[in-house]
Structure 1
Amino acid sequence: MQESNLFKVILETVSKIPKGKVATYGQIAGVVGTKDARKVGWALHTNEDPIKYPCHRVVKKNGSLAPGYVFGGPDEQKLILLSEGVVFKPDNTIDLTNYLCDSSDLQ
């Protein structure tokens, strides 16, 4: 798959993450059929419509926020997630057992 097509598929997949849930970079990569979670990050940096493609709902595999959130950094990302009902643990990570979106919802 060409990279531009892959990025479109990644963004479409991100659009399926429900409010109040998150997905990991690796989870998105697996759903779209690539082994490189970094490509998910690259695709999210091309996002021009954060309402349609809620990239703030994509987090690292340990539930932490990536420092390069394109729409205001991790502090802004956290505020948006909190407003959607996602709760952070004292170590500033998200409990993925409670908030991780099921991969089947992203198909």
Structure 2
Amino acid sequence: MGEFSDKVFTVVRRIPTGKVATYGQVARLVGAPRSARYVGYALHANPDPGAEVNSIPCHRVVFKDGGLCRGYAFGGPAVQRTMLEEEGITFVDDDHIDMGACAWDGISGEVEEPEIPLAPPPGFDWERELGD
């Protein structure tokens, strides 16, 4: 696969179980806004589809309105819907995901930076710390 596809696969692997991303969102995350169609092309050639640990869960990528891919390459929209339902995704109708509840924010599920303290811990003794 090419560099673009590899970037797409890396982003799609980060989509947590129970969440979905849009083609356009994936395009923006790989640094290629306005390339949603090419994200679809890359996912159509996905070498390792599925929900297993090292797989590329392309079933978690949907249209911006929450619509399922009518030409889902690995079994059609019924298979995509089943896979999403098994992960806890909710639908507003037969063909559209509840994006308000299931849209991935693009960052959660990532390793977070350690929290920077904004104040000393309770019971902190300034005199002892600053004394000579």
By the TM > 0.5 criterion, same fold? yes
Residue pair 1:20, 1:99 contacting (<8 A) in 2 also: yes
Q: Whose helix fraction is larger, Structure 1's or Structure 2's? A: 1
Q: Which amino acid in the other structure matches residue 93 of structure 2?
A: P
Please point out which of 64, 81, 90 is paired with 2:93: 90
Moved over 3 A (4+): none
What is the percentage of aligned positions where both structures have the same residue?
Answer: 46
Match for residue 67 of structure 1? 70
**Structure 1 residue 105: deviation in Å?**
3.8
Return 5+ residue gaps in structure 2 as ranges: 111-132
Q: Which amino acid in the other structure matches residue 83 of structure 1?
A: E
Higher RCO structure (Cα 8 Å, ≥6 apart): 1
Match for residue 113 of structure 2? none
Please point out which of 55, 60, 77 is paired with 2:58: 55
Match for residue 39 of structure 1? 38
Residue pair 1:31, 1:106 contacting (<8 A) in 2 also: no
Q: d(CA) in 1 for partners of 2:82 and 2:94?
A: 16
Count of matched residue pairs: 105
Q: Which amino acid in the other structure matches residue 43 of structure 2?
A: L
Q: Which amino acid in the other structure matches residue 15 of structure 2?
A: I
Residue pair 1:23, 1:100 contacting (<8 A) in 2 also: yes
What TM-score do the two structures reach when normalised by structure 2? 0.74
Return 5+ residue gaps in structure 1 as ranges: none
What TM-score do the two structures reach when normalised by structure 1? 0.91
Please point out which of 12, 26, 29 is paired with 2:27: 29
Q: d(CA) in 1 for partners of 2:18 and 2:73?
A: 20
Farther-moved stretch of structure 1 (85-94 vs 56-65): 85-94
Q: Which amino acid in the other structure matches residue 26 of structure 1?
A: G
Q: Which amino acid in the other structure matches residue 39 of structure 1?
A: Y
Matched, 1:104 2:102: no
Match for residue 13 of structure 1? 11
**Structure 1 residue 21: deviation in Å?**
0.4
When residues 66 and 36 of structure 1 are mapped into structure 2, their CA distance, relative to the original with a 3 A threshold, is same
Give the structure with higher Rg (CA): 2
